Amino acid sequence: MLDYMIYILAFAVGSIVGLVYSYKQHGEPFVAVSDINVPAAIVSIVGWCLAFNAGNVILSAIGFLLGGIVMGERPGYGRKETALGLIVAVAIYLILKLTV
């Protein structure tokens, strides 16, 4: 039960950090950037892969923190990066579970 609380707190802190970072990075009132932010995509892939595949409470919490940073950006930002990270993490999870 404590594991889930750590995951929720890490994700909430990551979302707040992502929102603050996004407001500092983007000043426009609406989504004006349509390309993929490569550093955010890397953070998202690493974060969601750690969150789903680590098997360790601390590494999973770090993964939820990293995933929350990208997912918690302003509305419209980070959506492609989050989707990419989730797709890669689920694919790795399925590969690991089906080959064992």
Q: 9 phi and psi, to 5 degrees? A: -65, -40
Domain of 59 in residue numbering reads as: 2-99
Nearest Cα to Cα of residue 21 among 9, 5, 42, 39: 39
Q: What is the tally of structural domains in the chain?
A: 1
Mean pLDDT, residues 7-20: 95
What are the tens digits of pLDDT across the range 50-93? 999 998 999 999 999 999 999 988 887 888 999 999 999 999 99
Nearest to 44 by CA among 9, 71, 26: 71
Where do the DSSP E strands lie in 1-100? Answer: none
Find the largest Cα–Cα distance for the chain: 48
pLDDT of residue 91: 96
Global pTM reads 0.89
pLDDT of residue 85: 95
Query: How confident is the model over 23-32, as pLDDT tens digits?
Result: 888 777 777 6
